[in-house]
Amino acid sequence: MVQPDEERPAFLRKDGHVAIITMNRPHAMNAVNAAMSIALQEAVDEFLADPELRVGILTGAGKAFCAGADLKEVAAKRSLIGPDQRERGFGGIMKQLLDKPLIAAVNGYALGGGTEFVLACDLAVMSDAATLGLPEVRHGIIAAGGGLLRMSRRVPLAIALEAVMTGAPIAPEEALRWGLVNRVVPADQVLDTAIELAGKIARNAPLAVQASKRVLYQAAAMSDWEAESWKLSDDAAKAIMRTADAKEGPRSFAEKRKPKWEGR
């Protein structure tokens, strides 16, 4: 029997071409345990498998986005991920580049693993009352869920070093100034703003959006003067030009109508 959404530790609902994925342990500030990690991966896989869903939003139920690892589970020496999630990391997104865009709607507290979820997303909308940060060093550990790998790619190295070595919280205005998030809005506008941003993306040709995302990430570590970089871009362009959507785009423009994307 399918559980009602309020009983699931994570669930997906559809809003047109947008998937809204909610971490749903509000009593624990959406801290990650194995059950939530597994449910979250199932929701992500549902999003990826549905051709009608073009953009995803990750958010939290209640007043928190995600408080990171459930320390009660850690203290009890229980795993925070399912037995088959080691290759993908918790939530099924930490170690896998998703084809489709994913936006973090940071509705509240997001420290440790919560910030690592934000960093694993492509874009982020943050509440002006929320907080980010990687405080792991204050507890004798490190941000091993991707925080150390991704922080310096999002902000200047000196800022990343300060963030991870002090463990200090990052206020919304700092997060926006350094490019950790794309928008900072009042708490009651976070999800609506994320949906609006997702809608702007979803109106575009889905395969072209996915190819653009893939090339940007792969090229980030390369010089734009290297032959390998241009091969990456040229190969993606050739593949896209063979799609039905690439033909529909110019045709709809010439016929002065909205394009009808097929995702093929």
Q: Which residues are catalytic?
A: 116, 136
Task: Report the DSSP beta bridge partners of residue 60.
Answer: 23
| Gap between the Cα atoms of 183 and 235, Å rounded | 33
Helix, strand or coil for residue 106? Answer: strand
The DSSP 8-state label assigned to residue 3 in this structure reads P
Q: Determine contact, residues 95/146, Cβ cutoff 8 Å.
A: yes
235: tokens are 């190969």
Return the half-sphere exposure (C-beta side, CA atoms, 13 A cut-off) of residue 12.
Answer: 21
Q: Determine contact, residues 62/29, Cβ cutoff 8 Å.
A: yes
Which residue is listed with tokens 């801290």?
Answer: 31
* End-to-end Cα distance, the chain: 34
| Gap between the Cα atoms of 96 and 245, Å rounded | 26
Helix, strand or coil for residue 22? Answer: strand
